[in-house]
Amino acid sequence: MPNTKKNPSALKVERRDARKAIYRGIVRSSTRTEIKKVRSLIAAGKLTEAEEALRPALSALDKAAEKGVIHKNNAARRKSRLVAALSKAKELS
């Protein structure tokens, strides 16, 4: 690890990483919120509302992957699980 007290380049990297962490946290948080909305609607049995909330959730996952906040395979896995959970809930009702 570089000595950050003396290395201007290392200080610059720390500042850049801090800015990125804030931005990524915002994107990650909003994505989690959208996913949570869908899951809570499915659990409550409100399937028509869950279908409407699914589109923004999938879009948020795609955007997070596009921006590099999460890996594209991670986004694909989460999208698949959300759709599968909704489909399963529809079958059971």
DSSP string for residues in 7-51: -HHHHHHHHHHHHHHHHHHHHHHHHHHHHHHHHHHHHHT-HHHHH
- 56, two tokens: 């923004």
Look at the domain 13-92 and name its fold.
Answer: Methane Monooxygenase Hydroxylase; Chain G, domain 1 (1.20.58)
* Domain extents in the chain: 13-92
Residue corresponding to tokens 């499915």: 42
3-19 tens-digit pLDDT: 667 788 888 988 999 99
Report pLDDT digits (tens) over 17-53. Answer: 999 999 999 999 999 999 999 999 999 999 999 999 9
**How open is the CA angle 79-83-88, to the nearest 5 degrees?**
145
| The model's pTM | 0.85
